[in-house]
Structure 1
Amino acid sequence: MRNIYEIKYLKYSATKYRNHVGISFFVVLKGKVMMTIKDESTFYEEGETFIVKHNECYKLDVLEGNIVVQIHLYESLIETMVPELLSNHYHLTSQSEIMMLRDQLIYLCCLNLTHKNNQNLKIMKQLISILEVYKERLFLKNHDCPIIHKNVNPIIEEIKDYIFEHYNERITINTFTHKYHLSESYFSKMFKEQMGVNFKDYLTDIRLLNSIYDLIHTHEKVIDISEKHGFYNVSAYIHSFKLYYGVTPKKYRDMIQNRNAQFARPSFFNEVDYEKNLSIDEIKFYLRHFEQKYTQTVCT
């Protein structure tokens, strides 16, 4: 998923100031690091998480012996999924606000190290989850509400998991009302209350999001992509895509491919003064150690 997200582990690094494009999440795996934004420096210790927002000017310093992981989400991904995050002026500062987000980020790091047939699907699901959690934290903070984890109905969690795994198959409301012995009206109300969007729009959104990977990174025909991702009528796919993103799939492909060329890896990480990267074995070791100490999920 090049040019959608990127993960970098640093154990000895110093960057020059740069204007940040996209959103970067940092988790300190070992020791202490210093982040400077607009000439204001803050130290973060092991187990802590911090965020650099879109268009912020920052400088990161990691002294030898300390380790931080940077999960960078490119502007094209955020603009597609949650565009309001590119213009949000609020910031999460309390570690209690970020704890759930930190665990989601570490899980993404683990997924990135696996090599399974459905890896891209799981990674896309996790990226969506990270942005949803981040948006939820910001929404609560912006409205001066206490940070409370919303308990999602177990049925809805099962449905979300099923949709992520089978979104390209034939799915209707009846798929779940029959399974859980619910009326359509009750199911629709429950889903809307839990997810903030109706079932049909949620399913369509997941299909569109997954189709975007192929639009950006393959030369497959639009009609083939539409069928591959659950749209059995290419006209319906084009109509839904234009309704959600304002342009046709072909136009979107041209726009994003041209834009992504500006954010290739060499240009994003070309302002590092000096650095030493971790080996794969070192990465796995520190992730396992971090998870055993701070989170509930152990990286395999």
Structure 2
Amino acid sequence: MTASASAGERRPARPRRRVARWLVGIALTAISLAFVYPFVWLISASFKPRGEVFDNRILPETFTFDNYLSVWQEAPLALWLANTAFVTVLATVCVTLTSTLVAWGFAYYEFPGRDLLFWLLLGSMMLPGAVTMIPVFLIWNQLDQVGTLTPLWAQNLFGSAFYVFLLRQFFRGLPRSVFEAATVDGASAWTLFRRIALPLSKPALVVTAVFEFQAVWTDLMRPLIYLRDSDTFTVPRGLKAMLDQFGFGGQWHWELVVTAGVVTTVPVVVLFFIAQRHIVRGITAGGGVR
């Protein structure tokens, strides 16, 4: 009697859990749609003629591919994409390599003042970008590099405090016994880093590379500061020029602006879907989840 009564008391909990799961699922779906809708609208608007861009229809009433043909003729989009790819690849490789080397030094080696140096490095993250913007510009101006693509990627030769912190946390989670065993077998410091640490830290390296790729690909501030000639424009700077010309310049070719936005957004979306498995693994591992 007691057992049947306790079983009867437990039964109502299952429907409650099911209702709670449904409510969570509905909430997550609504939030996901809210985030996805702007991109879906952008794609839909790129297939509409000028007069229907802002009609807020998901399915275009008049479907046309003319925008994707016209945008390459009205602006040097291919050149802007090439400039952006050049800057993004160099910046991503540089910051990933240098940040990894610095993070490995902080994680594996013990030396006087290590913790103080690391805290000073983290403290640099607290400085707003506006504080260093003018001094950095003056340095590049003295080097006669203003108006070139060099300032957009060469700053990454010195690493990034955020990525150093991320990679250091990942390196500290690796089993130290593996490195000690390799050292006993005669492995050098470079061998430990190249043959053991790097392969084991692949998820964290992918996270660093993807984050930096997205940041540089979509960066507008530095191109606005350093680039003068349209032949050196990156995609964000080119889109700003298109917006000024076709959006606010009296011609109102919004269909070309949104089409260029789709063309330049697709590479980042594709990269995320390709690397999403490594991104999830890298973030969870860096947060201490095993």
TM-score (normalised: structure 2): 0.22
TM-score (normalised: structure 1): 0.22
Higher relative contact order by CA 8 Å / sep ≥ 6: 1 or 2? 2
Query: Which structure: greater strand fraction?
Result: 1
Query: Which structure: greater helix fraction?
Result: 2
Larger gyration radius, structure 1 or structure 2: 2
